[in-house]
Amino acid sequence: MNAPIEFRRRIGASPRAGSCLNTAACPDIFELADGDFAIIGSDISNEAGKLPPDAGCAPHERIIRIPRNLLVNAKRDIPEK
């Protein structure tokens, strides 16, 4: 059995402080304990169309859309290493 994924911290401000106050649908970014990132966003895999030739999406992967301002505002919290 795999160990549960450990969320280290939120990257950027809590979306609950803004427009997500009264909804469960709140895009978010988290740093995981192993240094990877987890994204909460809208699954657009079926609507994404054709990916660029040097990109691929495996059957176990999904293409996720997040608002631009979420990633731009989180940039300051993403460590270089």
* Residue 12 confidence (pLDDT): 86
Q: What is the pLDDT of residue 23?
A: 65
Token pair 């939120």 is found at 10
Averaged pLDDT of the chain: 87
Q: Which residue has the higher pLDDT, 2 or 28?
A: 28
Cβ proximity of 45 and 63 under 8 Å: yes
Give the separation between CA 57 and CA 71, rounded to whole angstroms: 21
pLDDT for position 10: 92
pTM assigned to the model: 0.78
Q: Is the pLDDT of residue 41 over 70?
A: yes
Q: Is the pLDDT of residue 1 over 80?
A: no
Q: 76 to each of 7, 15, 42, 45, 65, how far by Cα in Å?
A: 18, 16, 23, 28, 20
Q: Are 56 and 76 in contact (CB under 8 A)?
A: no
**What mean pLDDT is predicted for residues 51-77?**
92
